[in-house]
Structure 1
Amino acid sequence: MSFTVDKIIRRESLTINGNASIKDAINTMSRENVGLLVIVNDAGKPIGVVSERDIIRALARGKDLNTKVTEVGVVGKLVTVSPRDSIYKAASLMNDHKIRHLVVMDGDKLRGVISIRDIISEERVVSRLAELAETKTIDTEISGAD
């Protein structure tokens, strides 16, 4: 049985314009209780992400709160999944890229963001991942073959 990403998207992703400041990002993250914002250009197209960790590291390096989010976030290297991709593929991408969030894109439309917490909160998924790891068949599940 394959579980797909669309089944664990909890809410719409929150975006922030690339011209916004770190302070704007902090305010949005705090108000919405999220750890990652998708950075969009003026046309609303996703161009990157900014996370709590990005902001903490920037502040530790002496960046000002008025610094643009594009200067502290990850821009141009979005790691994405499709809503139809398996959760196992999503978990594998997170592990491979050492990240905690993935942007969910349906073609060129932003559908949401999933986190490692979303994945591990699905008890069925965690159980299935453990089973697959024991039988060494996780590669088949990741590629989508049933």
Structure 2
Amino acid sequence: MQVREAMSSEILVVGPDHTLRQAARMMAERRVGSAIVIDPDSEGVGIMTERDVLNAIGAGLDCDTERTAAHLTSEVVYADPDWTVDEAAEAMARGGFRHLVVMAGSEVLGVISVRDIVRVWTGHRTAARL
């Protein structure tokens, strides 16, 4: 199965000036573990994950004043929609990521998460048993 078939195409997009609390609230409301951060003044697309929020809180930072731009996951790895789910899983394992932004050129198509991969793998195993 390809990434395009397993990814979540409904993504949460936040700006670089949202506070961590605002981003965390939106992530909780949407029940997602990441938010795409698009900064029109910078190159590329960033991602902020629940782990980034947790690290900021653990460091004693104020979630009402800290901005998402300062807490993006460094070294973002982008997945190609034509990758297999196995290739995405390998990239996640190599980088220690739980989310990959799926890009086609400069366009964000979605996000694939460990949860998406487990759902696919579990579905295939269940179907194979029937």
Q: State whether TM-score is above 0.5.
A: yes
CA contact (8 A) 1:39 1:46 kept: no
Q: Which moved more, 1:38-47 or 1:77-86?
A: 38-47
Q: How does 1:125-144 map to 2 (within 5 A)?
A: none
Letter in 2 for 1:97: G
CA distance change for structure 1 residues 30 and 46 in 2, over 3 Å: closer, same or farther? farther
Letter in 2 for 1:15: V
TM-score by length of 1: 0.77
Alignment RMSD (CA, Å): 2.0
* Distance in 2 (alpha carbons) for counterparts of 1:96 and 1:83: 19
**Structure 2 match to 1:72:** 71
CA contact (8 A) 1:38 1:46 kept: no
Q: Does 1:48 align with 2:50?
A: no
Q: Unpaired segments of 5 or more residues in structure 2?
A: 126-130
- Structure 1's consecutive aligned runs of 4 or more residues displaced over 6 angstroms after TM superposition are none
CA distance change for structure 1 residues 79 and 126 in 2, over 3 Å: closer, same or farther? farther
**Partner residue of 1:4 out of 2, 5, 14:** 2
Letter in 1 for 2:102: V
Q: Quote the sequence identity (%).
A: 27
**Structure 1 match to 2:35:** 37
Q: Unpaired segments of 5 or more residues in structure 1?
A: 128-146
**TM superposition shift of 1:126:** 6.6
CA contact (8 A) 1:15 1:38 kept: yes
Letter in 2 for 1:60: G
CA distance change for structure 1 residues 45 and 14 in 2, over 3 Å: closer, same or farther? farther
Letter in 2 for 1:68: R
**Structure 2 match to 1:87:** 85
**TM superposition shift of 1:72:** 1.8
CA distance change for structure 1 residues 46 and 34 in 2, over 3 Å: closer, same or farther? farther
